[in-house]
Amino acid sequence: MSEVARKSEGENQTRKRRPRGRPKGLRISVRQSEQITAICTRLGLPDTLLTFRDVAAALSQRAGFTVSLGTVHRYAKGEYPKRPELRALFRLPKIAHVPACAECGGVHLRRSCPNKAKATRKPRRRATLRTERLLTWAVLTLMSGVNR
Ligand SMILES: [Zn+2]
C-alpha cells in the first residue's frame, strides 16, 4: 500500500468518527406540533400535551370512555368521527338523517329541486307574442303603403 492511499484511508476514518447531526439523547427544543396545537386550542386542552397519544389520553379522561389514537389522528386529518358521543366530545355538530333529492341526489331545504327547475325552464311567451304582433303590424303598414 502506498503512502498516499494510507493517508486517504486515515482521513476517511476520522470523517466517520466525527459526530453528525444533533447529539443523541439530547432534546434541543420540545415544542408542540402545529396539528396538536390546533387540536388543543380547538378542544380547550392544556398546552403541555405533545403527542397524539397524550391528546387521546386527555380526551379519554374527559369523556369517561376510551378515545383511540386513531380517532385523534383521523380528527387531525379532517376525517371526523360519526358516533354522536365522539362528535360531542370533539365539539362537532350533530348528524341528522335527511332524505336525499330524488332528482339529483343532493340535499335541499325546499321541496322542489333547484337543479331540475333550471333545466326545464320554458321560454317566455310574452316576448314572442310581442314580436309577432310587431311583425304583423309592420307587414300590414307596408302593404297598405304599397296599395296606396
Ligand atoms: Zn335535487
Give pLDDT tens digits for 76-115: 999 999 999 999 999 999 998 988 998 888 888 888 888 8
d(CA 45, CA 56): 11
In a domain, 100, yes or no: yes
In a domain, 10, yes or no: no
DSSP letters for 112-124: S-HHHHHHTPPPP
DSSP letters for 4-49: HHHHHHHHHHHHHHS--SSPTT--S-----HHHHHHHHHHT--TT-
**Structural domain harbouring 88:** 30-119
In a domain, 95, yes or no: yes
In a domain, 136, yes or no: no
Identify the helix (H) or strand (E) that includes residue 96: none
Q: What is the pLDDT of residue 27?
A: 61
Number of domains, the chain: 1
Ligand 1 centre to CA of 123 (Å) is 22
What residues are neighbours of ligand 1 (ion), with CB under 5 Å? 101, 103-104, 106, 113
Ligand 1 centre to CA of 40 (Å) is 39
In a domain, 96, yes or no: yes
Grid cell of 134 as nine digits: 310587431
Ligand 1 centre to CA of 29 (Å) is 54
In a domain, 12, yes or no: no
Structure confidence at residue 143 as a pLDDT band (50, 70, 90) = confident
